[in-house]
Amino acid sequence: VQLVESGGGLVQAGGSLRLSCAASGFTFDGYAVGWFRQAPGKEREGVACISSRDSNTIYTDSVKGRFTISIDNTKNTVYLQMNSLKPEDTAIYYCQVDPLPAINLKTSVLKGTAPFRSFASWGQGTQVTVSS
């Protein structure tokens, strides 16, 4: 299982970015897919996740109303639309998967923490930098 993140960049505060998570040799069907981020000197934290079967979503409190996670099963890709970006959103963003019901992954997003375990190897991530 290989996860590849893309779409990061440098944006001013208040701007938007859309991140993509693609899977290689693997389909998201039957899994939840989550986005995580890690800022310099901080622990990795959960941001959002989506279930492949019913598209139910969960967000950590700090991004609610600003970020939207979605899945395109035809392209086997998960997106994270990030609006109203703030400097504190600056981090490397990663995606991760967990077999449904994906309690581990969902709990980590709800709590804004790193997952207890990772189903797949972490990818390179994509850097998001928000300037003030």
pLDDT tens string 16-34: 999 999 998 889 999 999 9
pLDDT of residue 22: 95
pLDDT digits (tens, 9 = 90+) for 31-65: 999 999 999 999 999 999 999 999 999 999 999 99
Those residues whose C-beta lies under 8 Å from the C-beta of residue 104, and which sit 6 or more positions away, are 98, 115, 116, 117
- pLDDT over threshold 90, residue 1: no
